[in-house]
Amino acid sequence: MNASAETGTAARHEGADETLHRSTGELAASLPHIRNAPAEGGVIELIVRRPAIDAREVLSEARISTDEGIEGDTWNQRGSPTSADGGPHPDAQLTIMSARAAAVIIGPVERWPLAGDQIYADLDISHETLPAGTQLRLGDAIVEVTAKPHRGCAKFAARFGCDALRFVNTGEGRDLRMRGANCRVIRPGTVGVGDSVTRL
């Protein structure tokens, strides 16, 4: 099944709105809300693919595959300095970001695609709840959370602020995986906005 795009064409998201950058205090105040995300299962709130560098396409439905992660995404075209051969890292085929963390760090849902993750779900994705090796059912696909860290970078700081970068990369922000969780595809399938995410 072909992915269904809400926008029809890929939209480019450049630059940043510094008025939306959250302070360390604001981020810290959000922690109880993020910790209270459902642990056993949640709901997918947004699906995004990256058809080109710095381009985002919001989808109502997507096909998850072992070749591309999200079909039409450029994961399989992006080299990684931490992969064995310098090619696309097999433990980062797609990433899941907490929708609660996205709302706090990024702001309105229209801006969430700036983060560059593919699945945004109301789910507790902390290391404690989802240790590496945990499998998740997304729609009728299955993915596995990997040990590969997902860290904020210079683009993350430019888009969401230096306080946000420090917060997601250290301490409790890191423990809660506020930057997101890397996954690899175990079983291909189709996933849609509103579908459940279930810990297996």
Q: What is the pairing mode between strands 119-122 and 94-98?
A: parallel
Number of domains in the chain: 1
**What is the pTM for the complete model shown?**
0.89
Average pLDDT score over residue span 32-38: 96
Q: What is the mean pLDDT of the chain?
A: 90
User: Does residue 32 lie within any of the structural domains?
Assistant: no
Look at residue 10 in the predicted model and tell me its pLDDT.
40
Distance CA 176, CA 13 (A): 26
Look-up of token digits 């709105």:
17
Look at residue 86 in the predicted model and tell me its pLDDT.
76
User: Does residue 117 lie within any of the structural domains?
Assistant: yes
Distance CA 38, CA 122 (A): 7
CATH number of the domain residue 121 falls in? 2.40.33.20
Look at residue 7 in the predicted model and tell me its pLDDT.
45
User: Does residue 36 lie within any of the structural domains?
Assistant: no
Look at residue 146 in the predicted model and tell me its pLDDT.
98
Look at residue 179 in the predicted model and tell me its pLDDT.
96
User: Does residue 23 lie within any of the structural domains?
Assistant: no
Listing DSSP states for the chain in one string gives: ---EESSSS-EE--S--GGGPPPHHHHHHTHHHHHTS-SSEEEEEEEEE-SSTTEEEEEEEEEEETTTEETT-SGGG---TTSTTSS--GGGSEEEEEHHHHHHHT-SGGGGGGG--SEEEES---TTTS-TT-EEEETTEEEEE-S------HHHHHHH-HHHHHHHHSHHHHHTTTT-EEEEEEE-EEEETT-EEEE-
Each residue's pLDDT tens digit, 52-102 = 988 999 999 999 999 999 999 999 988 787 777 777 899 999 999 999 999
Domain span at residue 104 reads 4-12+42-199
User: Does residue 55 lie within any of the structural domains?
Assistant: yes
User: Does residue 27 lie within any of the structural domains?
Assistant: no
In this predicted structure, the answer to whether residue 170 has a pLDDT above a threshold of 80 is yes
Average pLDDT score over residue span 144-156: 93
User: Does residue 22 lie within any of the structural domains?
Assistant: no
In this predicted structure, the answer to whether residue 11 has a pLDDT above a threshold of 50 is no
Asked whether 45 and 109 are in contact (CB, 8 A), the reply is yes
User: Does residue 162 lie within any of the structural domains?
Assistant: yes
Each residue's pLDDT tens digit, 112-123 = 999 999 999 999
Each residue's pLDDT tens digit, 20-30 = 788 999 999 99
